[in-house]
Chain A
Amino acid sequence: MNPLASIIMSSTLISGTLITLISSHWLMAWMGLEMNMFAIIPMIMKNNSPRAIEAATKYFLIQASASMLLLMAASLNFMYSGQWTLTEMNVSMASLIMLIAMLMKLGMAPFHFWVPEVTQGTVLLTSLIILTWQKLAPLAILFQIAPSINVNIILTTAILSILIGGWGGLNQTQLRKIMAYSSIAHMGWMAAVMIYNPTLMLLNLLLYLIFTFSAFTILIKCSSTSTSMLTMTWNSYPLMVSVLLIILLSMGGLPPLTGFVPKWLIIYELIKNTNIAMTLTMSILALLNLFFYLRLIYASSLTLFPTSSNLKFKWKINTPNKMYFLPTMVSISLLFLPVSPMILMLN
């Protein structure tokens, strides 16, 4: 893309999310979401293959329908309560429609079908943006309407998302689809705790962003988009496969890594609200996620698949010079668990 057009798209993307985050009127929130959506469409279509065009079309149709539902919910809220404030969503029907609109935008079950297809249809960097930056604005809206969300719908969606995110990712070999299903499952965990303690949802979001960003950075640097390509990275970037092990185990929620903190706190919060059966189901379904992360670790670092190279390492190791904060993110993924009492104080 022309550099000027690229700068315009990126700045619109960033400012769209910021406008939604700082807005208090529904119209400005909608406008930020629309700016977000239409700025990312040419970024999805950048390589102009039919696959990318199809991914952009699917993304546009889903997000446009969700924006229409958002406008309808905001108008209904205005009709029955007479005000446009983002935090005062007092009309239950409007709150329900707004919840459905945000679930469509986030790609949570049962509106999850677009996430793997759109993530697979485009390059790794754009799918990283779709899975991380595009989640901020809808989650900010859900955070602000959290007191009025219909409990049954959001808990049903949460458990379905964790189930579908875990189960759907089991049969995948393409890494972008694996990350898409992982995103669906993490959104399910965030939705489950949103009505009980929205701050924990923000903590889970922050850690999910760190893990996903690190995983995608490694995949971009190794230029690998499928599991079989990941098996060949050990002799080009040997340190990165160990780092990928840490990040994936942390995403799976294993103590003593940081990924255990959000799951632990969410389970604690749900149990405090006497929601024990669902907590048990969620914990068991998180194992499905862990299984396919372990399969990736098995393929990349725990075992060496047969390759054409007979040497242990390549004779020339080119270190990538731009690491996009990967060491910081990995340190956080590895070592942040002892900081969790301080995070609990933020409540």
Chain B
Amino acid sequence: MVKFILFMMSVLFVVSFVGFSCKPSPIYGGLGLIIGGGVGCGVVLYFGGAFLGLMVFLVYLGGMLVVFGYTTAMATEEFPEIWMSSTTVMGSLCLGLLAEGLIVVYLKGGDEKMWGAESLVMFSGEEVGFIREDYLAGSILYSGGNWMLLLSGWCLFVSVFIVMEITRGR
């Protein structure tokens, strides 16, 4: 039953991405990312990563998407492009949903067992440890993964400069 919920969350993840990649108005991007981020956290929580899932909720949905929502609300136009407004948008939405439906049917394959995720994931075995892996990973980033931390920090720093240069205009 819980594996069925996991499957449905994965499907909803893809459907929410289809919902904004058919390029309607950006406010649909916010909607799609909220739903997608929420069910993505659900998937991560299913596999035991409570810390990282809640971190995504807090920082991504609670910080970045809030800012994105406010800027989209400031930059919205009078007649936004909705899902039904043009043949292109509706066509690509239907195509995306159709492709996702075909993949779901293919993966199910008539076998009840396939609602679960056994064929899609590798189990690394049940080890007994004293520290949960997600907390461990969060702290390893600062100790053994210092090069990765430096690179990620540098990339985020550079991306601010890049966005400023790109949106500078004439």
Cβ distance A74 to chain B, nearest Cβ, rounded Å: 14
B170 CB contacts on chain A under 8 angstroms: 48
Kindly state whether residue B122 has any CB partner on chain A within 8 Å: yes
What are 7 of the A-B contact pairs (CB < 8 Å)? A8-B161, A9-B158, A34-B155, A38-B158, A38-B159, A42-B161, A45-B166
Question: Is B128 among interface residues, defined by CB-CB distance under 8 A?
Answer: no
Number of A-B contacts (CB under 8 A): 41
Return the chain A residue nearest B159 by Cβ.
Answer: A38
Interface of chain B residues 142 through 157 with chain A (CB within 8 A): 148, 151, 154-155
A-B pairs with lowest CB-CB distance, top 9: A42-B165, A12-B158, A5-B161, A42-B162, A8-B161, A48-B170, A42-B166, A38-B162, A8-B158
Interface residues of A in 1-34 (CB under 8 A from B): 1, 5, 8-9, 12, 19, 28, 31, 34
**A35 is an interface residue with CB less than 8 A from chain B:** yes
Cβ of B169 under 8 Å from chain A: yes
Interface set, chain A 42-74, CB cutoff 8 A to B: 42, 45, 48, 56
**Complex CA distance for A168 and B28, rounded to whole angstroms:** 41
| Cross-chain contact of B162 among A19, A39, A79 (Cβ < 8 A) | A39
A64 to chain B, nearest CB (A): 13
A35–B166 Cα distance when bound, in Å, is: 16
Closest beta carbon of chain B to A314's beta carbon, Å: 35
B165 surroundings in chain A (CB, below 8 A): 1, 5, 9, 42, 45
- Residue contact A35 to B161, C-beta cutoff 8 Å: no
A residues less than 8 Å from B161 (CB atoms): 5, 8-9, 42
Within the complex, what minimum Cβ distance (angstroms) separates B143 from chain A? 18
Contact with A along B64-96 (1 / 0, CB 8 A): 000000000000000000000000000000000
Q: Does A222 contact B (CB under 8 A)?
A: no
Counting CB contacts under 8 A, is A203 at the interface?
no
Nearest-neighbour CB distance to chain A for B169, whole angstroms, equals 7
Contact status of A48 and B154, CB under 8 A, knowing A38-B162, A39-B162: no
**Is B162 touching A9 in the complex (CB atoms < 8 A)?**
yes
Residue of A nearest to B170 (CB): A48
Does residue A254 face the partner (Cβ distance < 8 Å to B)?
no
